[in-house]
A and B are shown apart, each in its own frame.
Chain A
């Protein structure tokens, strides 16, 4: 660790991992409710568990992004963080606000939570992924502004690099687009239209810039490839991201009451959205193959390569699968969407966070560059367990989705939703089973922070271990 203030990243990463565990536990509850309909009913109905599952995901990814920024910005800017105390304060505010919100979901009916938080003054609740009480949303804005100010001042006062520039564009975009979550008109079509400005323009827009810059940072550090080369790649990748992704928003405007020309705009541009992800894969493997040194943190390099591959598969390939409007006409709002959502979020945003944590955590815990061999072996086991499990979760949901489309939408005698759900229950059982393996992977991941913690650091390949 080159700068003392980089240490503020550590609590952010720990909180991220803790919330990740919570997210997966609620995921398993949801998966079980698909086949055991009254599991935990009426105490924790499906909608509550789902809210906890998705909101924990969003919050822990944001914790991870903030931790990543606090770690990499001082190093890139070659100076201490502008105000470490502010980063500490925001950590606790964000954690307490997040915990209170989740407790609110679990302790009282959602309608009561809406009343307690005076939702009627500025109604923003009850929309998918934006279920947080309005006061929590305001808290998120405050935390985001303080965070942007802190890293922004650090960047402005220090060395400017393409990595920090792209990161800042992504983070500012994240904060600005979130403001659309406060716009909730009575008109359902307009509500949905601008809801996507938060959701789509986050995950298929500005978040990809954050992903790209973190990946570039870790690759510069672990491969020693010339910064100029990495930065050129980064520009090309994010250029393709926004060139395809902005108009690509149109693939959500096929069936919500918007004009039908969106079927053309959305199909054509979102069909191109896999391109930046494919380039990311080529980029990551290229950099690792052209490495000028062998970094002792092999686990971090594995996560970086895994991110590139899985983001391409989940966001790129599984996105393309149902993005063309004639296909989407049948798949819209089925388990195909769920399949894509799972692998895309895991491959792109979970894995980039785990990449950054894998790279930075050894230094934050007092190592010079990497964890012990044994710790890394356990971590790499967790990589394979979680990643392979997620592939199977995605395949089983895809199977469920294809059957659902066939039975409910495509065959000559379409059957009712609930009838079809029972017929495809086998796939839900298999998905739940794969989910248990994912949990095993996650437990292994957490264990990797404790196993071999007292053993000496791993050395780069080709270095003789001292006897």
Chain B
């Protein structure tokens, strides 16, 4: 780089640029926080849904599935599974019916032996997620 552009100038761009864009990011975060109540379906956040999220985390569901597109890419997207399966019963039935020893040669979800309370909570949790306003994502029902 030429001599007219000095190290001091480079340093000032670093500090100035970082501080400016960090503050801009915090401002956008502040605005996002204010906008979230109308998008994040928080009205549906019941104790059951909160328990469902705990069940979701405790069994590391994100280790195979995606939720709103984030997670692993080994098993189907679950952000819209409530809509894809058409309700809670089908979700609960699927989780309950997983064979302990898997399916020969194929991918299969483990049998987690969840209690009825946990099953209901996870289904409620997936219902809650499916009603978050995710800007029309995913493109279609297949996730």
Q: Do A and B come from one complex?
A: yes
B57 interface residue (CB < 8 Å to A):
yes
Contact yes or no, B17 A257, CB < 8 A: no
Q: A46-B64, A254-B137, A414-B142 are in contact. Are A232 and B14 (CB under 8 A)?
A: no
Instruction: Among B17, B22, B41, B141, find the residue whose CB has the most chain A CB atoms closer than 10 A.
Output: B17
In the bound complex, CA of A128 to CA of B105 (Å): 26
- Tell me whether B73 and A338 are in contact (CB under 8 A): yes
Residue of B nearest to A188 (CB): B129
Residue tally, chain A, CB below 8 Å to B: 77
Cβ of B112: which chain A residues have Cβ within 8 Å of it? 111
Against B, the Cβ 8 Å flags (1 = close, 0 = not) of A26-44 are 0000000110111001100
Contacts of B103 in A (CB 8 A): 37-38
Asked if B57 and A127 make an inter-chain contact with CB atoms under 8 angstroms apart, the answer reads: yes
Instruction: Identify which of A136-144, A240-248, A385-393, A452-460 touches chain B.
Output: A240-248
Query: Is B58 touching A258 in the complex (CB atoms < 8 A)?
Result: no
**Interface presence of B62 (CB below 8 A):** yes
CB-CB nearest in chain B for A405: B139
A239-B14 in contact given A128-B71, A188-B67 (Cβ < 8 Å)? yes
Cross-chain contact B36 with A189 (CB below 8 angstroms): yes
B142 touches A187 (CB 8 A): no
Which residue of B10, B25, B49, B74 is within 8 Å of A246 (Cβ)? B25
Nearest B residue (CB) for A189: B40
Residues 1-24 (chain B) with a chain A CB within 8 angstroms: 1, 5-7, 10-11, 13-14, 17-18, 21-22, 24
List the B side residues contacting A193 at CB < 8 Å: 29, 32
Contact partner of B7 (CB less than 8 A), chosen from A50, A235, A259, A334, is A235
Chain A 173-212, CB-CB to B under 8 Å as 1, else 0, gives 0000000000010111110110000000000000000000
Pick the contact of A417: B57, B129, B143 (CB < 8 A).
B143
**Cβ of A34 to closest chain B Cβ, rounded Å:** 7
Does B54 contact A50, Cβ atoms closer than 8 Å? no
Task: Decide if A294 is an interface residue (CB 8 Å cutoff).
Answer: no
Q: Per a CB cutoff under 8 Å, which of A128, A235, A260 touches B72?
A: A128
Is B86 interfacial (CB 8 A cutoff)? no
A330 at the interface (CB under 8 A from B): yes
* Measured CA separation A35–B107 after assembly (Å): 8
- Residues of chain B within 8 A of A189, CB atoms compared: 36, 39-40, 132
- Alpha-carbon gap, A414 to B90, bound state (A): 21
Q: Is the CB of A34 within 8 A of B74?
A: yes
User: Contact: A239 with B18, CB < 8 Å?
Assistant: yes
CB distance from B41 to the nearest CB of A (A): 8
Minimum CB–CB distance from B135 to chain A (whole Å) comes to 5
Residues of B within 8 A of A334 (CB): 73
Q: Mark A323-346, 1 if CB is under 8 A from B, else 0.
A: 000000110111101100000000
Contacts of A228 in B (CB 8 A): 7
Chain B residue nearest to A41 (CB atoms) is: B102
**Cβ of B132 and Cβ of A257 under 8 Å apart?**
yes
Asked whether, in the complex, the Cβ of A332 is within 8 Å of the Cβ of B137, the reply is: yes
Kindly state whether residue A168 has any CB partner on chain B within 8 Å: no
Q: Which residues of the other chain, B, contact A249 by a CB distance below 8 angstroms? A: 25
Residues of A within 8 A of B25 (CB): 246-247, 249
Residues of B within 8 A of A125 (CB): 57-58, 60
Contacting residues, chain A, for B140 (C-beta < 8 A): 409, 414
A123 to B110, CA, bound (A): 23
B108 at the A/B interface (Cβ < 8 Å)?
A: yes
A257 touches B73 (CB 8 A): no
Knowing A236-B13, A255-B68 are in contact, say whether A51-B58 is a contact too (CB < 8 A): no
The complex places the Cα of A107 from the Cα of B15 at a distance, in Å, of: 47
CB distance from B38 to the nearest CB of A (A): 9
> Is A45 an interface residue when CB atoms closer than 8 A count as contact?
yes
Interface residues in A233-289 (C-beta closer than 8 Å to B): 233, 235-236, 238-239, 242-243, 246-247, 249-250, 252-260, 262-263, 265
Interface pair A263/B135, CB less than 8 Å apart: yes
Chain A 151-174 interface residues, beta-carbon cutoff 8 Å to B: 162
Encoded as 1 (CB less than 8 Å from any B CB) or 0, chain A from 223 to 237 comes to: 000001101110110
- Chosen A-B contacts, 15 in total, with CB atoms closer than 8 Å, are A120-B54, A126-B62, A127-B62, A162-B7, A190-B36, A232-B6, A236-B13, A246-B22, A246-B25, A247-B25, A255-B134, A255-B138, A256-B132, A257-B68, A333-B69
Taking A187-B45, A257-B40 as known contacts, 18 extra A-B pairs with beta carbons closer than 8 A to each other, sorted by chain A number, are A33-B74, A37-B106, A38-B102, A42-B100, A46-B64, A50-B63, A110-B60, A123-B54, A162-B7, A188-B40, A229-B1, A239-B18, A252-B70, A256-B70, A257-B41, A330-B139, A333-B77, A417-B76
